[in-house]
Amino acid sequence: SFNLDGASLFLGIGTLFVAQLYGIDLSLGDQALLVVTMVLTSKGAAGVPGFMFVILSATLASAGLPLEGIAFIAGVYRLMEMPTTALNVLGNALAPLVIAKWESREARAAQQQTAQTLPDCGVQNKP
DSSP 19-42: HHHTTPPPPHHHHHHHHHHHHHHH
Chain centroid, CA 26 distance in Å:
22
Is position 70 within any domain? yes
Q: State the pLDDT confidence band at 72, using cuts at 50, 70 and 90.
A: very high
Amino acid at 1: S
Is position 56 within any domain? yes
- Read off the pLDDT of residues 109-118 as tens digits, 9 standing for 90 and up: 777 777 666 5
pLDDT at position 22: 96
Residue pair 19/70 in contact by the 8 Å Cβ criterion: no
Is position 19 within any domain? yes
Is position 49 within any domain? yes
Q: State the pLDDT confidence band at 123, using cuts at 50, 70 and 90.
A: low
Is position 27 within any domain? yes
Is position 122 within any domain? no
Is position 33 within any domain? yes
Report the C-alpha gap between 84 and 2 in whole angstroms.
Answer: 15
How crowded is residue 83: how many other Cβ atoms within 10 Å of its Cβ? Answer: 13
What's the mean pLDDT in 3-19?
Answer: 86
Q: In the chain, what are the helix, strand and coil shares in percent, each to the nearest 5?
A: 75, 0, 25
Is position 125 within any domain? no
* Total tally of structural domains belonging to the chain: 1
- pTM for the complete prediction? 0.70
What residues contact residue 58 under an 8 Å CB cut-off, 6+ apart?
A: 41
pLDDT at position 40: 78
What's the mean pLDDT in 72-99?
Answer: 85
Nearest 5°: the CA angle 42, 13, 5 is 40
Q: State the pLDDT confidence band at 52, using cuts at 50, 70 and 90.
A: confident
pLDDT at position 58: 85
What's the mean pLDDT in 8-30?
Answer: 91
Higher pLDDT, 73 or 103: 73
Domain that holds residue 75: 5-116
